[in-house]
Structure 1
């Protein structure tokens, strides 16, 4: 279903909420495996820097990226099935801090044939993180 918002037509919306204690428990049990499975290469670099400075900040970053991937998969209607994979969708920050979506293959080609720009927003509080994704139609 497409809806109109200004000049852009919205093809999909996704929202995800995640309790930080849940992300922390998974990280505590399988730190390397969880990080490697969820984060793409650019996100991994940011995570490692943040985690070295403050482990809580690193896990918070990991949780927001997990939520963004979940929200994105909902917005495009795939869930976590091919060509969607955790590490193929990255949420990075532009120099001013604004988050943006970066896709890798084969998800990138699949997405480009179906959708326009993707908009992502992430936030965190002391016990919860949230991510919201809006995907434009072509």
Structure 2
């Protein structure tokens, strides 16, 4: 949390816009206006989710993956869901099935776990995904 808060303090407008998609940015702004610590927790968990997703699909932060192209939003019941923008959405759809995301935050840490389903092709192995 401290590392994300420091980045936000150094670049109060630029840092959230670089990391968050448009829908995430709206939620972040509303939460951080009510309570700064809620804003920090939101920003930290979304940052963690983007890192976890980029690693799960084997891209890291290189094209077509980019911070704002992957959002973690809440379904009507509150469950976090992955929402992708182009060109990442098309790239992802060709290779994978549903992406599941879980977020948690504590006083010092924000964490995210992402599990990506295969498209049901038994010929896909971890080594072939890395090629």
Give the equivalent residue in structure 2 for 1:26.
7
For the aligned residue pairs, the C-alpha RMSD in angstroms reads 0.5
Give the equivalent residue in structure 1 for 2:26.
45
Of 62, 65, 83, 1:84 maps to 65
Instruction: Extract unaligned runs of 5+ from structure 2.
Output: 120-131
State the TM-score, normalized to the length of structure 2.
Answer: 0.90
Higher relative contact order (Cα pairs below 8 Å, separated by 6+ residues): 1
Q: Deviations over 1:96-135 (max 9, x none)?
A: 1100000000000000000000000000001001100000
How far 1:59 sits from its partner (Å)? 1.2
Give the equivalent residue in structure 1 for 2:104.
123
Of 47, 50, 55, 1:66 maps to 47
User: Higher helix proportion, which one?
Assistant: 2
Instruction: Extract unaligned runs of 5+ from structure 1.
Output: 1-19
User: Higher strand proportion, which one?
Assistant: 1
Give the equivalent residue in structure 1 for 2:125.
none
**How many residues get paired?**
119
Instruction: Specify the SS of the correspondent of 2:99.
Output: strand
Give the equivalent residue in structure 2 for 1:56.
37
Give the equivalent residue in structure 2 for 1:12.
none
Which runs of at least 4 in structure 1 moved beyond 3 Å after TM superposition?
none
Q: Is 2:80 the counterpart of 1:99?
A: yes
Distance 1:70 1:98 in 2: 19
Distance 2:68 2:12 in 1: 16
